[in-house]
Amino acid sequence: MSLQAVADRRVFASVTDGAKLTERYVPSERLGAVTGPDRPEAMIWQACTSSTGAARVHVEGPAGSGKTSLILSIIGQLARAAPGKPVQPLVVNTGASSALLKNQTAFLDFMLDLIAIEGRFATLDTRELAEATADQITLTPAAVTHQIGVDAKVLSYSATLTAAIKTITAGRNAAKTEATFRRIIKALAADFRPLVVIDDTDHFAGGGANGTIDEQALTQLYTHGIHTLAEYPQLDLIVAIQPRFRDLPAVADVESRFGFTCVEVAQLPAETEDLALRRVLERRLQLADIDSAVADLIDDLALAALQSAYFTRGCDLRWVLDQAHEAATRAVSAKADMITLAHVQPLLLG
C-alpha cells in the first residue's frame, strides 16, 4: 500500500513550486557532502547577512543539480532568522525574451514592469518559504521570524512605488528609467534588505544547439543585466549558473569586477559506499506522511543503480528523481511490493 501511495502521489518525482522545492531540500551536511563554514548554505547565508556590503554570489551547479532548491532554502531561513532587516526577494526569470537584454534601459524597464505587476519588490511569499524551512537545520541559534506583520513595513515605500509606476507609464526614456529604479531601491532599502535572484540562466543561456552555450544571450545577460544590478550597493544579488558559463569573458569580467563569491551546490558524495540518495527520498516520504522506510520500498541494488546514474547524468538530481518515480509506477503496475533493479534498469538504459 505504501508503494502504491508513493506512485499515486508522485512522492519521489521532481517538483517546481518554490515552497515544495524548499521543504524537500536536504541540507548538504545531511548528504555527507561538506560540513562547517564551507557548506554552500553557510556561504550564502554569510554573504546575505554581512554588514560590510551587499551579497554578490554565483551559485554554481549543473542543470538539475538543485541550485534553485538551495537558493530558496536560504531565502526561507533568512525570512525566519536573519539578523538586521528582513529580506525582500525578487526572483527574475529572464528567459522569456532576449529583447529585454538588448541594453541596460530595456533590462531596467523589465525590472520596473515586474515590480509593477507584483505591486511590490517581491515575487515570493517569504512567510511560505519560512514555514517550509521550519523543521530543517537552521544556520543561526535563534529564530527572529521577521515576516510576522511585515506588510506594515511595505507601506513605508508604497508611496514611492505608486509614484514610480505612474511615472513610467506616462512615458519612458533611459534617464527616467534609471532614476525611477534607483528611487524604488533607495526607499525599499530603508526597511528591507532587497535581494535579486537570477535563477533561470540554465534555460536562457544553456539553450544552444546540442546543449551548447548561447554565448550572445549570456553576454547580454551579464553586460546589460547582472552588471547593471551589481552597481546598486543596496541590492543583494544571487545568480544561478552552470560551471561552464564562467569561461565566457563577460561572466568572468562581472564576477571579478564585483567580487562575486562562487558557491558550488553540494553533490551526492562519490568517494563513499554510502547511498546518500536514500536521505533525499526519506525527506519526501516524511513530507508525504508515509511511515515506511526507504529500504522497505526500494532495494539496495535499485537504489545504487539510481545513485550511479546521478553521476553518469552529470549530477542531474531532478532527472534521477523522475526515474525513481517512474520505477515506483512500474513496480506498482507489476504488483511488486518494492522497487527492484528490474524496475530501474530499463529506465536507465533507455
- The whole-number pLDDT of residue 168 equals 66
For residue range 16-53, what is the model confidence (pLDDT) as tens digits?
A: 999 999 999 999 988 887 778 889 999 999 999 998 89
Task: Pull the grid cell for residue 130.
Answer: 519560512
Cell 541550485: give the residue: 67
Count Cα neighbours of 184 within 13 Å in the Cβ-side half-sphere. 29
DSSP 3-state percent helix, strand, coil across the chain (nearest 5)? 55, 10, 35
DSSP state of 337: S
What is the pLDDT, as a whole number, of residue 301?
A: 96
Rounded to an integer, what distance in angstroms lies between the CA atom of residue 350 and that of residue 342? 13
Pick from 294, 306, 220, 219: which is nearest to 268 by CA? 306
- What type of residue sits at position 128? E
Local structure of 56: helix, strand or coil: strand
Helix (H, G, I), strand (E, B) or coil at 12: coil
Which residue type occupies 190?
Answer: A
Note the pLDDT of residue 96.
Answer: 55
Confidence (pLDDT) at 141: 46
Residue 65's pLDDT is: 93
Cα(231)–Cα(107) distance, rounded to whole angstroms?
14
**Strand 193-198 with 56-60, pairing:** unpaired
Residue ranges of the chain with per-residue pLDDT less than 50: 141-152, 209
Distance CA 102, CA 221 (A): 9
Find the angle CA(234)-CA(236)-CA(238) to the nearest 5 degrees.
155
Euclidean distance between CA atoms 221 and 253, whole angstroms: 13
